[in-house]
Amino acid sequence: MFGHFLSKDDVRYLRIINKNGVEKISMNEAALPQSTVHIAQADPDGILLVIHAGAGNRGKKDTPERRAQVEQDLNRALEAGYALLEQGAPAEDAVCAAIRVMEDAPEFNAGRGAALTSEGIVSMDSCLMTGVDGEVGSACGLTTSKNPINVARAIKEKTKHVMFAKPGNDLLKEWGIELCDSEYFITPARQESLREAQSNGDEWEKHGTIGAVARDSSGNIAAGTSTGGITNQMPGRVGDSPLPGCGTYANNDSVAISCTGIGEAFVKEVAAHQVSDRVLYAKEEPIEAAKAALDGVARHHGDGGMIVVPAHGEGAMVFNSEMMNCGWKSPKGSYVQS
């Protein structure tokens, strides 16, 4: 995912001695990275689509030309999903449409252009959840599915199960999934990233996991996330994106959330579900709930961001990293940033 671990040089720690003389080290709350918030404007119960395509720090490959392409892709994704919301389609239709556009764009770490594992192949994960019924579909370790979000939806709607790991091509064809050869997914940029990661011994390179959350004209919300993981990851590694409650979650009584960042930290924090719980039980505002969850992610030495659409009110794009590729669209207007 698009993010990086925070080292002990990035934060300050408190040394605490309890009554038994046992030393404990914890992060100084004042040293937690500050979260940036962008509001996704919307009528209280109106249609709204919010998307992201990764959060982290800017690097040498983050050129003006690449940022312009990213913004163009974000706008295309917003247009695809929002057009369905305007037609009265359910939130999950808009979420999947927006994600498919980004999966097809090689700039992002999902579908074509996904990160490569240590074996030089893709291993893609996805998740889709609907807030109206709490139903969810999740897929891990995909290597041939052109649009991994379609696999998550098929699992949700065509099986009694929640998660599949490495479903075979025969089953994918039975579900109507379009398949591609491995060469389709591999781009020169990702091959270069893998070479650099292996020569530097660094697997925590920046990437652009993608996601979308939406509220439809019936007031229902949905969330989806799709990722290629991290460059040079060990075969079999799974992050937060396909795990309901960690990187993806939706509940009509609270919020829809999609996360991006260092997956291990989001899993340890159960970040997406935490946001929902804070809104539902602690009656926190979605923005404050998201900021609190990201503070927890930082305590696990991770950074990143999340997009949030509540059952009622405006949405938000919240991140504690340097930047997050994201955007929103509603009758109130539209916005993208990269």
- Binding site: what residues are annotated? 237-240, 260-263
What are the beta bridge partners of residue 142?
124
Cα distance between residue 327 and residue 119, in whole Å: 34
Burial of residue 258 (number of CB atoms within 10 Å: 0-12, 13-18, 19+): buried
The dihedral through the CA atoms of 275, 281, 286, 291 has a sign that is: negative
* Residue numbering of the annotated binding site for substrate: 237-240, 260-263
- What phi-psi label fits residue 203: left (phi over 0), alpha (psi between -120 and 50 degrees) or beta? alpha
Q: Beta strand pairing status for 48-56 and 323-330?
A: antiparallel
**Residues 297 and 264 sit within 8 Å (Cβ to Cβ):** no
DSSP string, 22-65: -EEEEE-GGGSPPPEEEEE---TTS-EEEEEEEEE---TT--HH
For residue 1, which amino acid is it? M
209 catalytic per annotation:
yes
- What phi-psi label fits residue 333: left (phi over 0), alpha (psi between -120 and 50 degrees) or beta? left
Catalytic residue (one of 117, 130, 144, 209)? 209
**Residues 3 and 261 sit within 8 Å (Cβ to Cβ):** yes
Q: Which positions are annotated as active-site residues? A: 209
